[in-house]
């Protein structure tokens, strides 16, 4: 996870431009300001496009395409410049790119979500989307020492991997999507002696929760500190449910571990099944090896089960130094997809 800094939006810019003989790059901001219905339709088109290639709608190990729209009004995203749609001459969506840019110290990182219509995998559109994202990153990071662009590919998406490697991307990390059926009896777990579970009261506990997050993930790969502003945005997400934000509290009152669950009821209704996610699970280093992670994870799984969730998923760094994968396997999770993280150093 990265902490993002807001960049000023150029809300008056009209960036609609013809970019090839058969496709138009759409300035998403113009659509948003003009017609709310157009915004919803564009995201519906993005969802349909992604699901042509991946019926589950997953964009990476733990993000669904249906979640993208929640980022539109984020202060961390300049939607006028960080989201692009490509349509053919008939107005059909054939590609999109959504870039999230984080700035910290002397480094700027971009994380790109993109997809192509299946009929466009072998032409130049994929290259065009990647080149657009690189140029956008250069604009934001002008004068910065380090510019990095990251994107993920499932390990069986050979066309995508070939495209990325031709454009100079290299693999740097592996991630897993794991799943566990909740249509079964779940084993009981108990908090260590003196520890209690509580739900986050974000008005009262927000700063302590942010500190818990940062200290839990400080030794994780590519960690950047979370800010209270970004955390507040997360907790205002339309699918956020406070009862699914569990905290393990130490006998002295210190927040020791946490687990955030997530249910997208709209996506479940569209797909005809009940699925939940473990979005975050972390333990402060001073409280590890006490069984807190396992106990709070199983408590969350029981909550999801009681809410009617039939399957729970999560994303995990396959090379995590905290042995997270083994923890998940010990309570019944199994790998369903492997994702490769690609990176490219961009010349400013």
Residue 5 has pLDDT above 60, yes or no: no
Q: Are residues 121 and 201 in the same domain?
A: no
Q: Are residues 80 and 51 in the same domain?
A: yes
Lowest mean pLDDT among 24-38, 48-62, 282-296: 24-38
* The pLDDT of residue 209: 96
Q: Are residues 247 and 270 in the same domain?
A: yes
* The pLDDT of residue 10: 36
pLDDT band for position 72 (cuts 50, 70, 90): low
Q: Which of 173, 201, 235 is the last residue of a domain?
A: 173
DSSP string, 155-193: TT-HHHHHHHHHTT-EEEEEEEEEEEE-SSPPPP--PPT
Q: How many angstroms separate the CA atoms of 173 and 301, rounded?
A: 28
Residue 175 has pLDDT above 70, yes or no: yes
Q: Which of 123, 151, 173 is the last residue of a domain?
A: 173
Tokens, residue 239: 């699918």
Q: Are residues 154 and 43 in the same domain?
A: yes
Residue 37 has pLDDT above 60, yes or no: no
Residue 18 has pLDDT above 50, yes or no: no
* The pLDDT of residue 146: 87
What are the pLDDT digits (tens) for 291-308?
999 999 999 999 999 999
* The pLDDT of residue 113: 97
Q: How many angstroms separate the CA atoms of 261 and 106, rounded?
A: 34
34-44 average pLDDT score: 72
Q: Which of 104, 139, 173 is the last residue of a domain?
A: 173
Contact 249, 198 (CB under 8 A): yes
* The pLDDT of residue 25: 55
Q: How many angstroms separate the CA atoms of 284 and 323, rounded?
A: 14
Q: Are residues 221 and 154 in the same domain?
A: no
> What is residue 319's three-state secondary structure?
coil
Q: Are residues 168 and 188 in the same domain?
A: no
Q: Are residues 83 and 37 in the same domain?
A: yes
* The pLDDT of residue 322: 76
Q: Are residues 37 and 163 in the same domain?
A: yes
The set of long-range contacts for 300-308, using a CB threshold of 8 Å and a minimum separation of 24, is: 300/244, 300/246, 300/259, 300/261, 301/180, 301/182, 301/186, 301/331, 302/186, 303/243, 303/244, 303/246, 303/261, 304/182, 304/244, 304/261, 304/263, 304/276, 305/182, 305/186, 307/263, 307/276, 308/274
296-323 average pLDDT score: 94
Range of the domain at 123: 17-173
Has residue 81 been placed in a domain?
yes
Q: Are residues 163 and 188 in the same domain?
A: no
* The pLDDT of residue 24: 53
pLDDT band for position 229 (cuts 50, 70, 90): confident
Tokens, residue 122: 């072998």
Has residue 236 been placed in a domain?
yes
pLDDT band for position 8 (cuts 50, 70, 90): very low
Has residue 57 been placed in a domain?
yes
Has residue 225 been placed in a domain?
yes
Has residue 328 been placed in a domain?
no
* The pLDDT of residue 103: 84
Q: How many angstroms separate the CA atoms of 37 and 264, rounded?
A: 21
Number of compact structural domains in the chain: 2
Has residue 337 been placed in a domain?
no
194-199 average pLDDT score: 97
216-225 average pLDDT score: 90
Residue 288 has pLDDT above 60, yes or no: yes
Q: 17: exposed, middle or buried (C-beta count within 10 Å: 0-12, 13-18, 19+)?
A: exposed
According to DSSP, the residues that pair with 32 across neighbouring strands are none
Q: Are residues 199 and 140 in the same domain?
A: no
pLDDT band for position 73 (cuts 50, 70, 90): low
- Please report the sign of the dihedral spanned by the C-alpha atoms of residue 44, residue 50, residue 52, residue 54: negative
* The pLDDT of residue 14: 31
Average pLDDT of the chain to the nearest whole number: 87
What are the pLDDT digits (tens) for 127-156?
999 999 999 999 998 877 789 999 999 999
pLDDT band for position 237 (cuts 50, 70, 90): confident
> Residue 292 belongs to a domain with what CATH number?
3.40.630.30
Has residue 116 been placed in a domain?
yes
Higher pLDDT, 279 or 72: 279
According to DSSP, the residues that pair with 114 across neighbouring strands are 97
- Provide the whole-model pTM: 0.87
Residue 195 has pLDDT above 90, yes or no: yes
Higher pLDDT, 30 or 243: 243
Q: Are residues 87 and 164 in the same domain?
A: yes
Q: How many angstroms separate the CA atoms of 254 and 21, rounded?
A: 61
Q: Are residues 211 and 141 in the same domain?
A: no
| Pure H helices in the chain | 28-34, 36-53, 79-82, 125-140, 158-166, 202-217, 228-235, 265-271, 292-306, 324-330
Has residue 30 been placed in a domain?
yes
């Amino acid at each position: 996870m990265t902490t993002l800094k807001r960049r000023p939006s150029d809300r008056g810019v009209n960036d609609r431009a013809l970019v090839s003989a058969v496709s138009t790059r759409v300035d998403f901001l113009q659509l948003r300001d003009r017609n709310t219905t157009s915004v919803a339709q564009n995201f519906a088109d993005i969802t349909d496009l992604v699901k042509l290639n991946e019926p589950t709608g997953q964009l990476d190990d733990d993000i669904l395409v249906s979640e993208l729209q929640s980022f539109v009004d984020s202060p961390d995203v300049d939607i006028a410049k960080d989201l692009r749609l490509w349509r053919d001459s008939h107005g059909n969506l054939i590609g999109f790119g959504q870039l999230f840019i984080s700035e910290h110290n002397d480094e700027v990182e971009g994380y790109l979500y993109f997809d192509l219509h299946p009929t466009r995998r072998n032409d130049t559109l994929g290259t065009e989307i990647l080149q657009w994202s690189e140029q956008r990153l250069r604009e934001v990071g002008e004068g910065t020492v380090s510019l990095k662009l990251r994107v993920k590919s499932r390990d069986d998406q050979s066309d995508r991997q070939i495209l990325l490697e031709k454009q100079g991307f290299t693999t740097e990390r592996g991630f897993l999507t794991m799943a566990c059926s909740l249509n079964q009896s779940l084993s009981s777990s108990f908090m260590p002696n003196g520890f209690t579970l509580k739900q986050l009261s974000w008005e009262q506990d927000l700063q302590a929760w942010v500190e818990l997050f940062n200290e839990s993930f400080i030794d994780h790969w590519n960690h950047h500190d979370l800010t209270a502003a970004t955390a507040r945005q997360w907790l205002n997400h339309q699918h956020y449910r406070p009862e699914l934000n569990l905290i393990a509290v130490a006998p002295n009152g210190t927040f020791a571990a946490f687990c955030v669950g997530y249910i997208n009821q709209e996506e479940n209704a569209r797909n005809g099944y009940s699925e939940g996610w473990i979005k975050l699970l972390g333990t402060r280093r001073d409280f590890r090896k006490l069984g807190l992670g396992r106990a709070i994870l199983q408590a969350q799984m029981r909550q999801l089960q009681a809410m009617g969730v039939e399957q729970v998923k999560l994303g995990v760094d396959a090379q995590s130094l905290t042995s997270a994968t083994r923890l998940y396997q010990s309570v019944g999770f199994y790998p369903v997809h492997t994702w490769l993280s690609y990176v490219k150093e961009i010349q400013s």
